[in-house]
Amino acid sequence: MNGKNNIAIGFLTMGLFMFYGFLLIYLRDFAPGKEAWVNSYSIGKHFEARLAHVHGNLFAFLNILIGYLLLRFQAQLPNVKTISILALVGLLMPIGILSEVYLGLPPFFVLIGAIAMTISVIWLGISFLKINNLNNIK
């Protein structure tokens, strides 16, 4: 876990949430009963579905970026494996939103994922601050 999995899983997750975006377009523009879906734009399942779509792509992109940085600077950064795992666990956040919408599950995965991603991003930021001379890294 030095960042490669973050990049691969990030791209795969982004692709899945992009396909999910096509489903949302279908529900908005083509599905039977689309008027009810459009009328609930900012409330209920419609809002939660859009929230999952946006956060799924954001967290996928963050995994790609974090993975690249961990691979590129793994010799200078401490705790690469832990940061990598936390970023991957962060993907539970948008998956948790979908599990709430479609399965009625409680928001445990949302909270776990959001906390894990936040910790990974802050930890990586602090780790970069502690690198003394980033200019000499090839």
Would you say how long the chain is, in residues? Answer: 138
72: number of Cβ within 10 Å: 12
pLDDT in tens, 86-97: 999 999 999 999
Q: What angle do CA 107, 111, 115 make, to 5 degrees?
A: 170
pLDDT in tens, 111-122: 999 999 999 999
d(CA 134, CA 23): 44
Question: Is the residue at 46 inside a domain?
Answer: yes
CA 26 to chain centre: 23
Question: Is the residue at 136 inside a domain?
Answer: no
pTM exceeding 0.75: yes
Count of the separate structural domains present in the chain? 1
d(CA 54, CA 20): 10
Which residues span the domain enclosing 122?
A: 4-131
pLDDT in tens, 35-61: 887 777 777 787 898 999 999 999 999
